[in-house]
């Protein structure tokens, strides 16, 4: 087991530094005069700042810091529109202090660096023109913030006030308005009331319907308060005993819509949080795969069946789709959502365990949307043996994508195209869709 360091803490120490390139995770890299590496938040490349250490000891490999004073500002810097964005405050948004165009450029630089470092691919080799595409309507002037987030989990402080976690901390920053929350979340009024005895409140505002949902997690031994909001809202409770989500009143799901289909998303089920992300990603995957009538396809980590449904519509009655999902409730929702499609089958379980049991030896198309850690070498190696004409990889983490692209290369697949979408404005996150195809023999 690792032992705690006895080296003195450097938290609170300040260094005047020249800020270097952006790095994955919402910070930039800098070095002190002694050569110490700092990961600095609230800074921009090329700036000169005073960086205050927030994590690290004298023998740490690197230190984390906040830029608490800007000595020489970048032309890309703006005053953060959100009053809760800045050193020591809310940790949700990484780039409030950067112009929107600069945010997308920084994200593009991160994706390019991860591709080169972990997959040995240049943007050109990955089939990417280097642009990061915003959702329609998100391309706003500096100082304006798109309200895009349809699911917000608020932390509740000891006084019962709703807020958001500080960066890499359990501490709560109370807020009276989250600027990136979608209007439907704002309408629930979570921030404007007290929540005694509650640890977290998740507010969900479906975009495919008028469904609204609040999921309450009481503190240990806490009692569920009477919830009276201005409009009909479903209320669920996370049980302290088993961690399960239980309906208090209303539906235990919300209805979302994409690709002209309605999807039931139950408590704990995954659905993209940006209002326009589901449709944008379906379009990107379908444009990349180009399904044909009669094709067979795999939808791995299929969630509630978003991509499985889209593919099934296109392969027709002579095609077939198998979806695999590890979440029990999500798999049940997928079965429900695609119940009118007899050529779709949903299996519940982990992909690396279920896929070998299916004894599938070939398929025409594959789409995978793995969790943040990626699919991994074992799963990728299996997929490369199935002879798919094209594979669509949807990724929320560029490092995991790059690692898996390297594994696909080992199995004889290369990127045909890569598209990068800014579906998490003001944060460091991006969404990528890579379309892979077999490497031509002799190349």
Which DSSP helix (H) or strand (E) runs through 357? helix 351-358
Place of tokens 């960086």: 51
- The CA distances from residue 205 to 181, 188, 359, in Å, are 10, 9, 40
The DSSP 8-state label assigned to residue 17 in this structure reads E
Of how many residues is the chain composed? Answer: 443
- The CA distances from residue 156 to 208, 230, 352, 377, in Å, are 28, 21, 37, 39
- For residue 8 the two structure tokens come to 């003195």
- Catalytic: 178? no
- Please give the angle made by the CA atoms of 114, 120 and 122, to the nearest 5 degrees: 75
Structure pTM?
Answer: 0.95
Place of tokens 């998740």: 202
List the alpha helices (DSSP H) in 87-190: 100-114, 183-187
Point out the catalytic residue in the list 90, 93, 396, 432. Answer: 396
Contact yes or no for 299/324 (Cβ under 8 A): yes
Which DSSP helix (H) or strand (E) runs through 339? none
Enumerate domains of the chain plus CATH numbers.
14-74 (2.40.50.140), 107-137+276-438 (3.40.50.150), 151-255 (2.40.50.1070)
Mind listing the pLDDT tens digit of every residue in the chain (443 residues)?
344 668 899 999 999 999 999 999 999 999 999 999 999 999 999 999 999 999 999 999 999 999 999 999 999 999 999 999 999 999 999 999 999 999 999 999 999 999 999 999 999 999 999 999 999 999 998 889 999 999 999 999 999 999 999 999 999 999 999 999 999 999 999 999 999 999 999 999 999 899 999 999 999 887 776 666 666 799 999 987 777 898 888 999 999 999 999 999 998 789 999 999 999 999 999 999 999 999 999 999 999 999 999 999 999 999 999 999 999 999 999 999 999 999 999 999 999 999 999 999 999 999 999 999 999 999 999 999 999 999 999 999 999 999 999 999 999 999 999 999 999 999 999 999 999 999 976 45
């Amino acid at each position: 087991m690792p032992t705690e360091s006895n080296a003195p803490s450097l938290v609170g120490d300040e260094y005047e530094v020249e800020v270097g390139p952006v790095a994955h995770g919402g910070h930039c890299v800098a070095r002190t005069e002694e050569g110490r590496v700092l990961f600095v938040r609230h800074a921009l490349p090329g700036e000169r700042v005073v960086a205050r250490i927030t994590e690290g000891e004298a023998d740490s490999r690197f230190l984390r810091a906040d830029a608490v004073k800007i000595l020489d500002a970048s032309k890309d810097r703006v005053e953060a529109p959100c009053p809760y964005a800045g050193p020591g405050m809310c940790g949700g948004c990484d780039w409030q202090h950067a112009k929107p165009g600069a945010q997308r450029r920084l994200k593009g630089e991160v994706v390019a660096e991860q591709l080169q470092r972990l997959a040995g691919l240049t943007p050109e080799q990955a089939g990417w023109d280097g642009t990061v595409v915003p959702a329609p309507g998100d391309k706003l002037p500096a100082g304006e913030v798109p309200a895009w987030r349809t699911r917000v989990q608020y932390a509740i402080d000891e006084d019962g006030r709703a807020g958001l976690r500080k960066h890499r901390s359990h501490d709560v920053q109370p807020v009276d308005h989250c600027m990136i929350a979608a209007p439907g979340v704002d309408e629930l009024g979570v921030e404007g009331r007290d929540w005694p005895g509650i640890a977290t409140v998740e507010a969900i505002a479906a975009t495919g319907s008028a469904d609204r949902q609040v999921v309450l997690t009481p503190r240990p031994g806490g009692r569920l308060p009477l919830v009276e909001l201005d409009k009909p809202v479903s209320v669920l409770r996370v049980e302290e005993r088993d961690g399960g989500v239980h309906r208090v009143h209303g539906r235990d799901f919300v209805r979302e819509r994409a690709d002209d289909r309605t999807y039931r998303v139950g408590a704990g089920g995954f659905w993209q949080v940006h209002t326009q992300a589901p449709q944008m990603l379906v379009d990107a995957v379908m444009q990349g795969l180009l399904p044909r009538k009669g094709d067979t396809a795999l939808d791995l980590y299929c969630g509630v069946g978003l991509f499985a449904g889209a593919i099934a519509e296109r392969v027709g009655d002579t095609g077939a789709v198998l979806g695999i999902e590890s979440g029990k409730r999500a798999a049940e929702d997928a079965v429900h959502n695609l119940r009118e499609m007899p050529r779709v089958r949903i299996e519940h379980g982990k992909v690396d365990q279920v896929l070998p049991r299916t004894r599938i030896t070939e398929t025409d198309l594959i789409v995978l949307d793995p969790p943040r850690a990626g699919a991994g070498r074992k799963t990728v190696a299996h997929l490369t043996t199935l002879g798919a004409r094209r594979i669509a990889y949807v990724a929320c983490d560029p490092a995991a994508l790059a690692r898996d692209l390297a594994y696909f290369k080992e199995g004889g697949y290369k990127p045909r195209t890569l598209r990068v979408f800014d579906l998490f404005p003001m944060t460091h996150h991006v969404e990528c869709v890579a379309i892979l195809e077999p490497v031509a023999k002799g190349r």
